[in-house]
Chains A and B, each alone.
Chain A
């Protein structure tokens, strides 16, 4: 049987719409009430979804080019890396976690391992400099931040001092 993806997709869609109707029936009515109530609209949406799913099952499209299993593993692994990134971000801090995750993605997208490490570090420090130091966005702090902060702050204060001495002497 061809076109199995779309048929399967339609069945999943039907299941989701059934789930919606079931969960909607569990919604507790509040003492504040309007004529329609909180249940009706979700049920209508679920009905539309069910109709669309049935149409997809009856008239499926051609099979999409699913990636070979190896590539599926690839995508799954990247997903896990990104989940791990989200989990460790608050503890490990922005600079370290971003460098690691960026390097992993660069490597999987076809860079050589050494290039990938450099890319990760450059991306991480680049974003840190632009977003935190220039734009003042709050990123997750971490133990290595001072390594970047210190020279940057030194440079900024150096430039500021030079600027002040120049304008100061210029004014006199």
Chain B
């Protein structure tokens, strides 16, 4: 059993490390040590891609805050809350390429959004959302937040449904307002789920956003929305002759993500011990 698991998960990773140290031509190539890593790390486009991935991590607190607020509002079970729950979750179940293509049409300079804004005489808001290097990455982030928040909302909401109502009743009796309830009851109750959601989102924003970038901006204009995954794709696919560099970048991304998550977990454990 252990061997089987080792083979299924371990073998591809070992091969990836092996690839990363070769000048791959076809299925293999000469061993060149850490040259591919040197080439990757000094590559200005890869460096830019890393910066963009790190910028996108801004999405983690944004997603958590939005999901928290909406989950709490749903928990109040206001009129029509089931419809809102469905509406929030809907984007999450749509395929990313579908969302990417739809948004790339909506957000063109002369796309539906800008034409609507112009019709409303809000021309100053009709920006080149995906065609301007100053805005394109932020546009991508907004689309990612729109799509991914549904998962956070449903996750938080499901956890809230299992919290004892007595705690909330007690808070009401004590005269806690909505924000106080959120801060002193809801968030502590959701702590584990928030941590889980944060980790999943970090992994997503580092290594699961290829489909967004590929379908919406293709990394452009110029290199303004280049991310690590797209850079790797350009090195390993489409007949690119140097998959070794793509493999080296994949190893860097893999190890970087592990280090980041491990650090977060360690931090969490330390906080837990102090508490």
Binding partners A and B: no
